[in-house]
Structure 1
Amino acid sequence: MRQTVRSPYSAAPIRSPLSLMSATIQTAQLSHPGRRARNEDSCGYQTSEQSCCWIVSDGAGGHGSGDVASQMVVRTILDNFVAQLPATSETAAALLEAAQNAVMSHKAAHPEGDNMHATATVLLIDSQTLTAAWGHVGDTRVYLFRERRVVFQTRDHSVVQQFIDAGYGDTSIIRAHPHRSLLTAAIGNADELTISVSGPPVQLIDGDVLLICSDGWWELLEERVMEAMLEDSSSVAEWLNSMARRIELNMATNSDNFSAIAVQIGEIDPVITQIQTAIVGA
């Protein structure tokens, strides 16, 4: 079964939407093992002239099964995504449910295995109307930057987020709390699947940047630092690389894998979206 939660979206329009005829969509992605022996993150995307899909997944489980879970999530979502699907919250939820079914079927066929599971975050954009929708399970986040400032971010499915929601702290505790890695929802859990979605399609405008990133990424980069580094970057690829270098400098002995995909609306470098599929990670 699936529980779908609609996340509020509030971003006042800053300027008129760009001319769709001249729109470009840039993508950059990066996945790094951190200081772990194995990279259990996976990410990938598929773009076309009609619609686009991006996915980041952070796997977990014993004996290296986390990388199996995250790769299965990414491949299942990209295999189930076709350009004719509308870029809506309903599509994002259906894709995440397909990933849940794939992981649960794998676990049923391999009962000797461990309790592998994964976070998953899907971003969809209609290439013609430049409207976006997203859905997530776990603590892999979506950020929307407008005028180089964060105007939206998803809320984690985590124990610490529940503490905050109940009034036992504010967002300042989310990166340092000893229980920050405990999830309340994940792909591969036998409980009812909780999916949070963006709600009605979000109209994107020229200059908008979306970031999908695992907890290993955002835990070591506060939002104000992301904004400042975006301000200093000439492309989303440069931005991701700059943030990754900053994370590497701040890594502890056993720092987690970290992965991200950045999507830019409008031209920085004149690269027109082409039909392609790419997967990186484990």
Structure 2
Amino acid sequence: MLEVQTYFLSERGGRSRNEDACGYWTSDTACCWTVSDGAGGHGSGDIAARLVVDTILTRFSTTQSAGLHDAAALLQAANEAVVSEKGSGNTADDMHATAVLLLIDRSGGTAVWGHVGDTRIYLFRHGQVVYQTRDHSVVQNLIDAGYGTADMIRTHPQRGLLTSAIGSSEAITLSVAHEAIPLFSGDVFLLCTDGWWEHVAEAEMEELLVDASGAAEWLGLMRRLIRRRAPGDNDNYTALCVTVSDQVPDETTIIL
């Protein structure tokens, strides 16, 4: 059976509050990790993000199922929860959120994932990125259509405009893995908000992962880059790292 370790870091950056949220739920058979980045014109982005995380983890804890249809169903449930909260009158704005989730079947040794918006998941194998999600954003669409290069994703003035987000009363666009992916000892997942990946290029993620003595140090090294590069009013930034092993017992580390 696969063993997993969890590490996470979340900071408010230059904002007055942290509107990111993350969490996880694990058992001997299946595990779920999720990260959400909330937004709202009157400060209710933190409510949206926390509602996304709570809904996903609560639903997962009742099913403990880690299939492709489960990833899609959990994201749809999160969208319904945010839409319902908006309709209750308890919030004063059109709050919404991005989200990414990772599901691991520990007995089967496989993983699936899904996302909405520009919160990402990366899979590192042998120190290199072998998979990363594609953002649901205007700039990503421009790049896919051939109107620019991948560098635009971090520099374009409209890089924050999303084409899909949780909290829409209409059908949302969500993406899930095409199939369950077999896992190997040494695999590393990184789930992170745009406030994180915008300031750390994928090549730098790989380089720092090789240099670091472990996942906790790796997150710390990336945080150092963010603090050095980000402007004074920079966005919240959150990263959750999951390492896969066939030897190490479960452990969770919070980096302050």
TM superposition score normalised by structure 2: 0.95
Query: For residue 125 of structure 1, what is the aligned residue in structure 2?
Result: 104
Helix, strand or coil at the partner of 1:81? helix
- The correspondence for 2:31, drawn from 45, 52, 58, is 52
Superposed CA offset, 1:157-200 (max 9, x none): 00000101111012111100000000000000223111100021
State the 1:239 CA deviation: 1.0
Counterpart-to-counterpart distance in 2, 1:116 and 1:237: 32
User: Following superposition of structure 1 onto structure 2, how do residues 1-150 of structure 1 map, counting pairs within 5 Å?
Assistant: 20=1, 23-82=2-61, 84-110=63-89, 113-150=92-129
Matched, 1:203 2:182: yes
Counterpart-to-counterpart distance in 2, 1:236 and 1:263: 8
Identity across aligned pairs (percent)?
Answer: 53
Query: For residue 273 of structure 1, what is the aligned residue in structure 2?
Result: 250
228-237 vs 144-153, greater mean Cα deviation: 228-237
Count of matched residue pairs: 255
Helix, strand or coil at the partner of 2:15? coil
Residue segments in structure 2 that go unaligned for 5+ positions in a row: none
Flag the 1:112–1:120 CA change in 2: closer, same or farther, 3 A.
closer
Matched, 1:164 2:146: no
State the 1:97 CA deviation: 0.7
Query: For residue 215 of structure 2, what is the aligned residue in structure 1?
Result: 236
Residue segments in structure 1 that go unaligned for 5+ positions in a row: 1-19
Answer yes or no: is the 8 Å Cα contact 1:132–1:203 preserved in 2: yes
For 1:44, give the aligned amino acid.
G
State the 1:154 CA deviation: 0.4
Superposed CA offset, 1:57-107 (max 9, x none): 000011210000000000111111127432112101111111111101111
TM superposition score normalised by structure 1: 0.86
For 2:249, give the aligned amino acid.
I
Flag the 1:250–1:237 CA change in 2: closer, same or farther, 3 A.
same
Counterpart-to-counterpart distance in 2, 1:111 and 1:84: 29
Superposition CA RMSD, Å: 1.9
Flag the 1:252–1:45 CA change in 2: closer, same or farther, 3 A.
same
Query: For residue 11 of structure 1, what is the aligned residue in structure 2?
Result: none
Flag the 1:263–1:91 CA change in 2: closer, same or farther, 3 A.
same
State the 1:271 CA deviation: 4.4
Counterpart-to-counterpart distance in 1, 2:189 and 2:93: 34
Q: Which runs of 4+ in 1 moved over 4 A?
A: none
Query: For residue 6 of structure 1, what is the aligned residue in structure 2?
Result: none
Counterpart-to-counterpart distance in 2, 1:241 and 1:128: 31
Helix, strand or coil at the partner of 1:248? helix
Counterpart-to-counterpart distance in 2, 1:138 and 1:68: 17
